């Protein structure tokens, strides 16, 4: 009977440890977005609407974003009316609440070839920081289809310019609207917090069970 109790204790510990640690490793290694030009990974992400004084939904541009440990991923869907196509738009970067523009990036569609997107650092010798984005063109006038794009920017582009964490970075795309874009943090932080709480609760339960055994 004592041997059986010891086996049950060991099994219980291993099982709980696996439950706690698995989400952390998955979150740390997984990439939230696959850049492939299909945009289906963005379906459940919150939308930021960019516009200039217009309240007509068809004239608002949609932006979505998410980060992992290495990249900021962005999605843009242009307004479905107004004839606006995704062009070589400048992205103004503001760090740590500054009202000044601390860095300029540029989104260049159909580069290095048609259907792709390159992001350039305008303040660093106009060097490409990302070349694996996609753009799919729409009519931009039928009220249904419009240009869609997805691309990524290395987080190092912000860190080396003095931003203290991506949560302290805000972006503005003047050609699309006057609203600033802030960021959702896709890190292991929430999982680790849950894990620590779980450890405390499970430890208390284990002590009780051990006392009964």
- Of 112, 105, 82, the C-alpha closest to 154 is 105
Partners of 93 in the β-ladder: 103, 171
User: In a structure prediction context, what are the per-residue pLDDT tens digits for the chain, which is 213 residues long?
Assistant: 555 555 546 555 444 444 443 333 333 345 679 999 999 999 999 999 998 886 677 889 999 999 888 999 999 999 988 768 899 999 999 988 888 999 999 999 999 999 999 999 999 899 999 999 999 999 877 778 899 999 999 998 888 666 667 778 999 999 999 899 987 554 433 333 333 334 344 444 444 445 555
CATH number of the domain where residue 71 is located = 2.60.40
The number of distinct structural domains making up the chain is 2
Domain that includes residue 202, residue range: 2-28+190-212
In a 3-state reduction of DSSP, which class is residue 130?
A: strand
Is 33 in contact with 130 (CB distance < 8 Å)?
no
The reported pTM is 0.71
Residues 134 and 198 in one domain: no
Residues 13 and 77 in one domain: no
DSSP 168: G
How many whole angstroms separate alpha carbon 118 and alpha carbon 106? 8
Residues 74 and 139 in one domain: yes
Residues 120 and 151 in one domain: yes
Residues 86 and 139 in one domain: yes
Residues 82 and 167 in one domain: yes
């Amino acid at each position: 009977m004592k041997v059986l109790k010891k086996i049950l204790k060991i099994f219980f510990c291993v099982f709980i440890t696996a439950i706690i640690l698995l989400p952390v490793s998955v979150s740390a290694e997984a990439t939230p977005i696959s850049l492939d030009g299909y945009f289906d990974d963005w379906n459940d992400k919150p939308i930021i609407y960019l516009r200039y004084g217009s309240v007509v939904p068809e004239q608002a541009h949609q932006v979505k974003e998410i980060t992992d440990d290495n990249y900021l991923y962005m999605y843009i869907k242009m307004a479905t009316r107004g004839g606006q196509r995704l062009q070589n738009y400048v992205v103004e970067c503001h760090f740590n609440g500054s009202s000044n523009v601390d860095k300029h990036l540029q989104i260049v569609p159909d580069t290095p070839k048609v259907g792709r997107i390159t992001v350039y650092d305008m303040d660093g010798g106009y060097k490409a920081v990302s070349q694996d984005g996609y753009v799919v063109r729409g009519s931009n006038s039928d009220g249904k289809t419009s240009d869609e794009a997805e691309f990524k920017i290395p987080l190092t582009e912000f860190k080396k310019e003095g931003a203290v964490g991506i949560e302290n970075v805000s972006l503005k795309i003047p050609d699309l609207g006057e609203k600033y874009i802030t960021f959702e943090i896709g890190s292991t932080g929430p999982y680790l917090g849950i894990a620590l709480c779980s450890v405390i609760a499970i430890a208390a339960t284990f002590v009780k069970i051990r006392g009964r055994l």
